[in-house]
């Protein structure tokens, strides 16, 4: 778990956040113990900004990874920063009920299951008749 948090912390350093200065890093652990990282990437239009969690997940999917066990998220905040709503939906759809580790630069951590952060989640199961 410490290595995953450290990888997320390092990914945070690559964040492109010239507007908010709010840098976030994420590290996703695959079922076969591979770590895929991501950072937030802002855009002047804000709406096209990509969060660290989605960057890591989309990067993993693009590299052929489809099964995940943990996701660490690191931000420089006293109160640990959970995933936004859009990220929660993407995490649920692509990672399922994975372990989510929130951390900050002071090494404070909290761990949740995704189902705690997104109760009664909407997914493809509701589209089946």
Q: Tell me which residue of 62, 63, 76, 114 sits closest to 93, measured CA to CA.
A: 114
pLDDT at site 66: 97
Strand stretches in the chain, DSSP E: 24-30, 35-39, 68-75, 99-104, 109-113
Q: Which domain holds residue 28?
A: 2-119
Note whether residue 115 is domain-resident.
Answer: yes
Note whether residue 111 is domain-resident.
Answer: yes
pLDDT at site 1: 78
- Percentage, residues of the chain above pLDDT 70: 99
Q: Is the pLDDT of residue 2 over 70?
A: yes
d(CA 128, CA 118): 20
79-88 pLDDT per residue, tens: 999 999 999 9
pLDDT at site 60: 98
99-104 sheet: strands from edge to edge: 35-39, 24-30, 68-75, 99-104, 109-113
Region 70-92 average pLDDT? 97
pLDDT at site 125: 86
Burial zone of 8 (CB within 10 Å; 0-12 exposed, 13-18 middle, 19+ buried):
buried
Contacts of 77 (CB under 8 A, 6+ apart): 104
Note whether residue 105 is domain-resident.
Answer: yes
Region 74-80 average pLDDT? 97
Note whether residue 124 is domain-resident.
Answer: no
Note whether residue 63 is domain-resident.
Answer: yes
> Active site includes 42?
no
Note whether residue 125 is domain-resident.
Answer: no
How many domains are contained in the chain? 1
Q: Is the pLDDT of residue 120 over 80?
A: yes
pLDDT at site 46: 87
pLDDT at site 129: 66
Helix, coil or strand: residue 124: helix
The CATH number assigned to the domain holding 97 equals: 3.40.140.10
**Residue from 53, 63, 65, 128 carrying the catalytic annotation:** 53
Helix/strand/coil (H/E/C) assignment for every residue in 76-96: CCCCCCCCCHHHHHHHHHHHC
22-64 pLDDT per residue, tens: 999 999 999 999 999 999 999 999 889 999 999 999 999 999 9
Note whether residue 128 is domain-resident.
Answer: no
Note whether residue 127 is domain-resident.
Answer: no
């Amino acid at each position: 778990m410490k290595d995953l948090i450290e990888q997320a912390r390092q990914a945070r350093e690559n964040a492109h956040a010239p507007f908010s200065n709010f840098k976030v890093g994420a590290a996703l652990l695959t079922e076969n113990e591979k770590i895929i990282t991501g950072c937030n990437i802002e855009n002047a239009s804000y709406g096209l900004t990509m969060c660290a969690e989605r960057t890591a997940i989309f990067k993993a999917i693009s590299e052929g990874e489809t099964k995940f066990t943990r996701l660490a998220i690191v931000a420089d905040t006293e109160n640990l920063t959970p995933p936004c709503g859009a990220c929660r939906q993407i995490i649920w759809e692509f990672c399922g009920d994975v372990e989510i580790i929130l951390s900050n630069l002071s090494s404070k951590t909290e761990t949740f299951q995704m189902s705690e952060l997104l109760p009664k989640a909407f997914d493809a199961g509701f589209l089946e008749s």
